[in-house]
Amino acid sequence: MRFVCQRVSKAQVEVNGQSVGRIDRGLLVYLSVGKEDTLKDAEFIAEKLINLRIFPDDDGKMNRSLPDVGGAVLLVSNFTLHGDCRKGRRPGFDAAAQPQLAQQLYEKVIVLIAERGIVVEKGAFGEYMHVTSTNDGPVTFLLDSNRLF
């Protein structure tokens, strides 16, 4: 699994002009599932998102996590994070999971985060979405559950 995580002061996802997910302070997360990913990857990703200390403390240092600041998560599926742009001009998506596995593990990440008491909003899996956000910082991180980066 891979994610792009942005610390935001607000974020929203719309499908066909209708809001399907919206948060204020928290994390906007674009998540992609790889074809080799398992429940273990979902658990790793959920734990990282919950405990990543990227919110400022009273001294302005990144020492606080989502639970510390009462932040929420807006989780948006985005298979293009597994796109390979190294050759040619068109990305290849051979490493991305098939939709059934991707949706299953995407939904599992949502459940794992929610079970820890974090408010989780989500995009619409497999739909064309419009995402708007106000990045706070800007603070943006990348993570791969196979620790490729």
**Predicted local distance difference test score (pLDDT) of residue 147:** 87
Name all domains of the chain by residue range, CATH numbers in brackets.
2-144 (3.50.80.10)
Per the listing, tokens 């932040």 go with 71
129-144 average pLDDT score: 97
Cα separation of 147 and 149, whole Å? 5
Please say if the pLDDT value at position 109 is more than 90.
yes
Q: Is 111 strand, coil or helix?
A: helix
**Predicted local distance difference test score (pLDDT) of residue 148:** 86
For 51, half-sphere exposure in the C-beta direction (CA atoms, 13 angstrom radius) is 7
**Predicted local distance difference test score (pLDDT) of residue 149:** 82
List C-alpha distances in Å: 55 to 20, 37, 51. Answer: 25, 28, 11
Our CA angle for 55, 75, 143, nearest 5°, is 65
126-148 average pLDDT score: 96
49-74 average pLDDT score: 98
40-65 average pLDDT score: 98
Please say if the pLDDT value at position 32 is more than 90.
yes
Residue type at 18 in one-letter notation: Q
Please say if the pLDDT value at position 13 is more than 90.
yes
Mean of the per-residue pLDDT values of the chain: 97
**Predicted local distance difference test score (pLDDT) of residue 88:** 95
Cβ–Cβ < 8 Å for 13, 20 = yes
| β-bridge partners, 55 | 64
112-124 average pLDDT score: 98
* Total-model pTM: 0.96
Cβ–Cβ < 8 Å for 23, 91 = no
Residue 130's pLDDT band, with cuts at 50, 70 and 90, is: very high
Per the listing, tokens 């597994």 go with 82
Which H or E element spans position 122? strand 120-122
